[in-house]
């Protein structure tokens, strides 16, 4: 799926090569925003952004949803290096009432689904009118849970990626493109 002229970058001790361009990302995110807007026409929407990785995707996605929209954040930690630790920890809880609201959970990437399952079980979401999931990237080969990912940007193989909000040990979130581990 690489779309860019091969560009290689180094973050810490690892090399990454281009995978998805900024143009491809913004085009698909615009389409996702239009789809969400159609699905919730006339409704108020609450976007629950899973930090830290989804901040960039959420900013672009929300700019493409022309509805009354509130935005909240939850910070979950689950990665160590290039692999999921398998353990989730809330570092910033949901701080707004979502009872009776249509909620779209915004994820940067859904791989095993452990973080997603943890978020979906948060007590705040149990009182929402509806809950759907939007993820910029989805790894069907790695996914082990049963929650439907309603809005998918790109399905990708089970590889480690950085950029556009995703990081490797804190670096790479600011990159405009997405890069894969070389």
Catalytic residues: 111
Rounded CA-CA distance 90/75 in Å is 6
With both helix axes pointing from N to C terminus, report the angle between 55-63 and 22-39 in degrees, rounded to the nearest 10.
Answer: 60
Q: Where are the beta strands (DSSP E) in the chain?
A: 8-11, 14-20, 45-51, 69-80, 83-92, 102-110, 130-138, 151-155, 161-162, 178-181
**Continuous segment of H or E residues that includes residue 57:** helix 55-63
Residues 101/46, Cβ–Cβ less than 8 Å: yes
What Rg do the C-alpha atoms of the chain give, in angstroms?
A: 16
Rounded CA-CA distance 155/66 in Å is 25
């Amino acid at each position: 799926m690489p779309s860019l002229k091969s560009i290689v970058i180094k973050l810490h001790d690892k090399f990454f090569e281009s995978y998805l361009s900024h143009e491809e990302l913004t085009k698909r995110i615009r389409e996702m925003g239009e789809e969400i807007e159609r699905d919730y026409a006339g409704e108020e929407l609450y976007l629950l952004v899973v930090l830290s990785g989804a901040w960039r995707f959420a900013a672009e996605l929300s700019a493409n949803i022309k509805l009354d929209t509130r935005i909240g954040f939850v910070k979950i930690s689950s990665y160590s290096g290039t692999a999921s630790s398998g353990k989730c920890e809330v570092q910033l809880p949901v701080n707004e009432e979502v009872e009776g609201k249509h909620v779209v959970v915004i994820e940067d990437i859904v791989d095993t689904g452990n973080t997603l399952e943890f978020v979906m079980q948060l007590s705040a979401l149990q009182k929402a009118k509806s809950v759907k999931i939007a993820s910029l990237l989805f790894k069907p080969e790695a996914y082990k849970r049963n929650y439907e990912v309603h809005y998918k940007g790109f399905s990708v193989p089970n590889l480690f990626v950085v950029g556009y909000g995703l990081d490797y040990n804190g670096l790479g979130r600011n990159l405009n493109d997405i890069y894969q581990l070389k």
